[in-house]
């Protein structure tokens, strides 16, 4: 005779943990046993969360990180293998439905974004990190493009961000001959902003995020937009776009607060508007 338990089964953990406090939103990829690989549940949750925090005026800085020993190793290949038998499911659909919206949100929201690289970032996970403004890496972190290693092209903006960070020749080397780049080498290449001991990562990122959240959010967002626009524009168009953004930020309350504080020889207090 088999005895059954009346106790409910343990619910599955949330694939994404979102914490918002004091102007900072922490988004933690939460599939540690799968090295935060991207299954549909996590991809859906990340798209929704990024859109929400991107539009929330109370959020003035966003941090993306992982739980466990990895930041994100890209697509969940076990799920992908199962999907190969479904003629309606292709990599193109997950790129257009998930990866592209994630990268657009990370790179264009009107506030700064920090990637806290607690471990390896590979494939789309590396691409997500490259879409952020800052990449603070643990000494235990590593970066790997991975795509060619499973006979795929690249996605999630790697062909756009990587050459802009390391140049076309080095970008093609990293894409065509994928390998794990250590945190120290990534720093030397310009792939990451800073490398710290693993036990200092959270505190270092928290300090940076606090500085950004206390700063002039509209100006930060406008600088992001100016840099992105100018990457594909000629000088006259870039200058015209800069003028538009200067007019926008020149009318902001943060600009007035900064000027008043400068004249009074005081530290400004920004509201993000």
The DSSP-derived string for 6-70 is: -SPPPPPPPSEEEEEETTEEEEEE--GGGTT-B-HHHHHHHHHHHHHHHH-TT--EEEEEESTTE
Question: pLDDT tens across 210-233, in order?
Answer: 999 999 999 999 999 999 999 999
Q: Which residue has the tokens 């990024």?
A: 50
Q: Is 144 found in the same domain as 240?
A: no
Residue 233 belongs to domain spanning? 217-263
**Side-chain half-sphere of 153: how many Cα atoms within 13 Å?**
7
Q: Which residue has the tokens 């949750």?
A: 45
Domain with 47 in it: what CATH number? 3.90.226.10
- Whether residue 187 lies inside any domain: the answer is yes
Return the exposure string of 149-159: e unless at least 16 CB atoms fall within 10 Å of the residue's CB, then b.
Answer: eeeeebbbbbb
Residues of the chain with pLDDT under 70: 1-10, 79-92
| Beta strand 120-122 pairing with 70-72 | parallel
Q: Is residue 117 part of a domain?
A: yes
Q: Does any domain span residue 169?
A: yes
In angstroms, rounded to a whole number, what is the distance separating the alpha carbons of residues 115 and 109?
A: 14
Q: What is the pLDDT of residue 84?
A: 56
Tell me the CA end-to-end span of the chain in Å, nearest whole number: 68
- Residue 69 sits in the same domain as residue 194: yes
Domain count, the chain: 2
Q: How far apart are CA 80 and CA 147, in angstroms?
A: 14
Which pLDDT score is estimated for 94? 86
- Which pLDDT tens digit goes with each residue over 74-123? 998 776 555 556 666 556 688 999 999 999 999 999 999 999 999 999 99
The verdict on residue 273 lying in a domain is no
């Amino acid at each position: 005779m088999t005895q059954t338990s009346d106790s409910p089964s343990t619910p599955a953990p949330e694939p994404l943990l979102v914490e918002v406090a004091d102007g900072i939103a922490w988004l933690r990829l939460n599939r540690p046993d799968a090295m935060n690989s991207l299954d549909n549940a996590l991809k859906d949750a990340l798209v929704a969360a990024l859109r929400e925090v991107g539009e929330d005026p109370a959020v003035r800085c966003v941090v993306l990180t992982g739980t466990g020993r990895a930041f994100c190793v890209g697509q969940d290949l076990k799920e992908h293998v199962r999907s190969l038998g479904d003629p309606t499911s292709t990599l193109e659909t997950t790129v257009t439905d998930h990866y592209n919206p994630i990268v657009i949100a990370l790179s264009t929201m009107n506030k700064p974004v920090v990637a806290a690289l607690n471990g390896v970032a590979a494939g789309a996970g590396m691409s997500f990190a490259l879409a952020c403004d800052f990449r603070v890496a643990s000494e235990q972190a590593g970066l790997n493009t991975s795509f060619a290693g499973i006979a795929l092209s690249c996605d999630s903006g790697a062909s756009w961000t990587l050459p802009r960070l390391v140049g076309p020749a080095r970008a093609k080397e990293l894409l065509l001959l994928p390998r794990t780049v250590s945190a120290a080498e990534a720093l030397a290449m310009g792939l990451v902003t800073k490398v710290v001991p693993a036990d200092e990562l959270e505190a270092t990122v928290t300090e940076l995020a606090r500085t950004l959240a206390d700063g002039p959010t509209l100006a930060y967002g406008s600088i992001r937009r100016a840099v992105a626009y100018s990457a594909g524009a000629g000088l006259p168009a870039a200058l015209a776009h800069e003028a538009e953004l200067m007019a926008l930020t020149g009318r902001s309350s943060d600009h007035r607060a900064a000027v008043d504080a400068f004249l009074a020889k005081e530290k400004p207090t920004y509201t993000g508007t």
